Copies of this chain bind each other. A is one copy, B any other.
Amino acid sequence: MVDDRKLDVLRAIVEDYVATEEPVGSKALVERHGLGVSPATVRNDMAVLEEEGYIHQPHTSAGRVPTDKGYRLFVDKLATLKPMSMAERRAISTLLDGAVDLDDVVQKSVRLLSQLTRQVAIVQYPTLSRSTVRHVELVALTPTRVMVILILSTGRVEQRLVELDAPIADTDLAELRVAVNQATAGVQIAAAAAALGALPDDVRPEQADSTRAVVGVLTEAMSDHRSDERVAVSGTANLARYGDFDTAVRPLLEALEEHVVLLKLLGESGVDALTVRIGHEGPYSELAATSVVATGYGPQELHLGSLGVVGPTRMDYPGSMAAVRAVARYVSRILDEGNQ
C-alpha cells in the first residue's frame, strides 16, 4: 500500500537523486527534507516502495535509486511543472521574436531549449505534409533552365532547378506560372500535388513538355519527405555532465547521429500533448537509460512537428517539462503569426 507519506518519500528520493547523482539513504533524506519522521520510519517506507518496484537498491547496504516505474509515478502524480521565471519568459520571447525566417526559428529554439534545460534539445522542422501552398514561383535563369520555388504556409521554401528540352518564352512561362498557382495556391500539399497531375493536359500542346517537366519537379518537391526528416539538435555538450559514459552518454551520442531515430523518439509522442517517455518505455533497448520529454507544436490544433529534450532517466523532469511546453507555445505562436 502506497500512502501519502510514501509518495512524499519517493518524491524526495527522486529529487535528491537527480540533484546528487548518488543513491540516497534514509538519514540524508530526513535531514534534507523536513519529513517530520525518523529515519527508521523512512526505511520502512522505502522497503515497501522497493517491494512495489518504485525504487531499487544497487546492492545491500546502499541507498536507494528510483526505477523507471518510480520516475513514472513521480512524473504522473508528483511533479508540478516548475513555472518559468519572468526572466526566462522574456528571454524566450525576445530571442524568438528576432528570428528572420523558418530556419532561424528552428535554430534559435533548439538552442534556447538546450540552454534552458541543460539537456540535449531536438526540434523537428515543420512537416511539409500538413502545410498548404502559399505560392509557386518560376524564374528563368536561362531560356532552358528554370528555377522552381515552392513557398509553403509554414514559411518553408523549397527550390529546384529544371532543365528544359526546349527554350521557353517569357510569356509562356508567365502563363504557366499563373496556371500552377491557380491549381495549387492555398491547397494542402498532398491535394496540390494531385491537382498538378492533370495540368499538362490542360495547356496548349506545344507547352505540354515544359509543363510536364515543371510539374514533375514540383510534385517531387511536394512529396519529398526527406525534409520531413530534418531535425535540429543542440546541447550535446550537456551530456558531458553525466557520469556513466558507457550506459548513458555513448548510446545517446550515437542515436543523435541518426536523425531517423530521433524522429521516432520525438514522433511517437503522438500528437500534441506533452509526453514523457522514461527509459525502457521507449522503442530502443539501447536507450534504456535515457528519457524523452517531448510535445507537438503548431498553430492552433494543427500538428506541424515535435520538439523536446532527451537525457538520462535521471533528469529534472519538472524543469524540462515546463521548458519544453513553453518553447513549444512560443514556436507555435511565431508560426501562426507568420501565417496570417
Contacts and interface: CB of A to CB of B under 8 A. Distances in A.
Given A141-B134, A236-B256, A157 B149 contact: yes
Chain A interface size range: 20 to 34
Nearest to A114: B257
A15 interface: no
A234 interface: yes
A135 B151 contact: no
B139 A147 contact: no
Contacts of A253: 236-237, 239-240
Given A149-B149, A256-B237, A257-B236, A101 B139 contact: no
A254 B250 CA distance: 16
A151 B157 contact: no
Interface string A260-280: 000000000000000000000
A139 B161 contact: no
Interface in A240-254: 240, 245, 249-250, 253-254
Nearest to A221: B100
Contacts of A135: 139, 141, 147
- Say whether chain A's binding surface is mostly helix, strand, loop, or mixed: mixed
B147 A101 contact: no
Interface in A214-243: 224, 226, 234-237, 239-240
A250 B240 contact: yes
Contacts of A245: 240, 245
Contacts of A149: 137, 149, 157
A90 interface: no
Interface of A: 100-101, 104, 134-135, 137, 139, 141, 147, 149, 151, 157-161, 224, 226, 234-237, 239-240, 245, 249-250, 253-254, 256-257, 338
Nearest to A136: B139
A309 to B, nearest CB: 15
Contact of A257 (B139, B141, B234, B256): B234
Query: For A159, A226, A235, A254, which residue has the most chain B Cβ atoms within 10 angstroms?
Result: A159
Given A237-B256, A256-B236, A100 B139 contact: no
A151 B139 CA distance: 10
A239 B257 CA distance: 12
